[in-house]
Structure 1
Amino acid sequence: MLLDEATASIDYNSDTKLQQTIREEFSGSTVLTIAHRLRSIIDYDKILVMDAGEVKEYDHPYSLLLNKNSIFYSMCEDSGELESLLQLAKESFVKKLNSK
């Protein structure tokens, strides 16, 4: 499934519900999402950060956030939601580790 800012123009509560539905209904599928709302993708398996058409970073969101020099860290910091994004990414990372 490919989503190009599918929830960018809806309120945060609707976005949360839609993202949860996508996670449940497409749990066995590959989902590629172009997103500006970092909260929508913070629990994804991998994040690909691009700049000027070039791949700059690619890793699990939590791994990227552990590097304070990463572009993704800066994006999360600039969003004003760094602490909550870090916590959500960590919870997702631990959950994936425990499910293996």
Structure 2
Amino acid sequence: MVTEGGENYSVGQRQLFCLARAFLRKTTILVMDEATASIDMQTDAILQDVVATAFKDRTVLTIAHRIATILNSDKILVLDAGRMIEFDTPDALMERDSVFASLVRNDK
């Protein structure tokens, strides 16, 4: 039984419900704003695999602070103080001295 607003579930569980609903509704654009912030790293990895397969034919915009969450994205947009400072593929950003590359190196 799910209560009003899903308050009988954890924040992480409610986030999973939202993703399930987006999948079932067959949304063409999925915006994930820190969707995995309340989920442990192991569940985050599983969820990223599910999103990559279940939403492969849809546009997924991911706002994330965890680097691992976005490493397999097609494009990366790096913002600083609300301004775009980098936009390219993860591989291209890693090949140069980019802010993204420094974030990846510091995350290890």
Tell me the TM-score normalized by structure 1: 0.76
Say if 2:49 is the partner of 1:20. Answer: yes
Partner of 1:79: 107
Give me the CA root mean square deviation.
0.8
For structure 1, list consecutive stretches of 5 or more residues without a partner in the other structure: 81-100
Identity %: 46
Q: Alignment partner of 2:85: what SS? A: strand
Q: Deviations over 1:14-62 (max 9, x none)?
A: 0011111111111000000001111111011000000001000000001
One-letter code of the match for 1:23?
A
Question: 5 Å matches for 1:24-39?
Answer: 24-39=53-68
For structure 2, list consecutive stretches of 5 or more residues without a partner in the other structure: 1-29
Q: Give 4+ residue runs of structure 1 displaced > 3 Å after superposition.
A: none
The size of the alignment, in residue pairs, is 79
Q: Deviations over 1:40-99 (max 9, x none)?
A: 1101100000000100000000110010x211011111112xxxxxxxxxxxxxxxxxxx
Task: From the CA coordinates, give the structure whose radius of gyration is larger.
Answer: 2
Q: Alignment partner of 2:73: what SS? A: coil
Say if 2:35 is the partner of 1:10. Answer: no
Tell me the TM-score normalized by structure 2: 0.70
Partner of 2:24: none
Q: Distance in 1 between matches of 2:105 and 2:53?
A: 28
Q: Distance in 2 between matches of 1:62 and 1:78?
A: 17
